[in-house]
Structure 1
Amino acid sequence: MDEFLDELHKFNKNIYFEIGGHPEDEKVELIISAEGNVEYFASVEKLTSLAPEFKNWDIIAFKPPMGTGFSLDYGGRVFNPEEIIFIPLVSKKDPTAIGFNVCYPDYEESEREVFMNGTYLILDTIIGEKSNALDIDYMNVIKTPENIGEYDFRHISDIAEFIEERKNEG
């Protein structure tokens, strides 16, 4: 794996890979990722378009959307998309922009990085790397407001539908 990463970084030091797939599948997936950094998307697309076809491998550009039905352990916290809520935001400057606050009842500013990274990992898993990077204009993590019932909130497990609705409005 280290040797493969070294070779990959000769092409572009800012792209990475994941290997996976279902144990019963005949093919293994090799996912080439820019880790959400749009600046390197062209490198990922170029590399995967030039990749030869292999009988037992699928070469995939970007982490694909995997949907919901999972939870994530990250930074000593469990992130469950069925329990995490978000509050959609509307920008007066750009009403077509997609933005939202992700709410956590136990959010502490001192753990902001854990909450932000955990949220980005969940979004990558649900909607895929490319949508996470290109479709979301603004995302923040906050402590769940005490008056949350007064907000039009949704669960993060519904984020793909929310993004699609907003894109269709524009």
Structure 2
Amino acid sequence: MRKINTFWNWFQDNNQTIKNFLNETPKSQKQISHWIKHRLGFYCKELDYMIIFPKKPTEKTELIITANGNPEYFTRVTELIKHAPVLKHWKFTAFIQPTVHIEKIMDGLDEPYVFQEITIKTSEIKFLPLAYDEKTKKLNIIVYLKNYNIHCDTKTWNQAIYIIMQDLLGEKSLYQNINFVQLACLPTNTEELIELYDLQFYIDTINKNDVS
């Protein structure tokens, strides 16, 4: 608890400077980033952070604390946010939350992701379940990608799919529900495949049936 209080006391003392980050010089921005990471590391070195700056002056700046998907540190994230102070211009969030707009994806109007030589939209991705582990309550899936054979850089594709799925499910849901992802090229006949944007609905359905 002492380390939690130490972090938040420091944050409160410096919150105006952090909030003004975008108006600082590059040198000052680097120093601010260093000190946030350093102070957070004093509490738990495995945690990380993101700051979402508002588009409108009336909106709050958001500090997101993340375990980078490592479930061993989920409790540390929750505890830290649980004891966050109430600050007028700040919002504190545990874990990276789903950020995409499903309606746009369903209509094919979602913005493409660009990863090095790869450009892909979530609306172009489909999946099928491979197996469900009753013990861990986790799902193995195969993800079908457009032009996968043409740009077959497995590492880049894996990173891309991880980011896209995190945007869809959020950090905690992704690591609590998905165990293994296999990549494959999108076949000509896709009638039997499931849209990736329906993945959370599919997970919720499995969990509901498993409980009942």
Structure 1 spans left out of the alignment, 5+ residues: none
Question: Which of the residues 104, 115, 125 maps onto 2:157?
Answer: 115
The structure with the larger Rg is 2
Task: Decide whether aligned partners of structure 1 residues 79 and 59 sit closer, same or farther in structure 2, where only a CA change above 3 A counts.
Answer: same
Amino acid at match of 1:138: F
Pick the structure with more helix per residue.
2
SS at match of 1:90: strand
Match in the other structure for 1:12? 44
Q: Calculate the TM-score normalised by the size of structure 1.
A: 0.86
1:55 and 1:45 map into 2 onto residues whose CA distance is 21
**Residue correspondence of structure 1 range 12-161 to structure 2 within 5 A:** 12-24=44-56, 25-68=58-101, 69-91=110-132, 94=134, 97-108=138-149, 111-145=153-187, 148-149=189-190, 152-161=192-201
Amino acid at match of 1:81: T
1:26 and 1:107 map into 2 onto residues whose CA distance is 40
Contact 2:141 2:181 in 1 (8 A): yes
Identity of aligned residues (%): 25
Amino acid at match of 1:50: H
RMSD: 2.3
Post-superposition Cα deviations, 1:23-58, rounded to whole Å, max 9, x if no partner, equal 125211100001111111111111111221111111
SS at match of 1:82: helix
SS at match of 2:97: coil
Q: Calculate the TM-score normalised by the size of structure 2.
A: 0.70
Of structures 1 and 2, the one with the larger relative CO (CA 8 A, separation 6+) is: 1
1:169 and 1:152 map into 2 onto residues whose CA distance is 21
SS at match of 2:86: coil
- How many residues are aligned here? 167
Amino acid at match of 2:34: D
2:120 and 2:111 map into 1 onto residues whose CA distance is 9
Post-superposition Cα deviations, 1:114-157, rounded to whole Å, max 9, x if no partner, equal 111111111111111000010113322222346x44x6211212
Contact 2:49 2:64 in 1 (8 A): yes
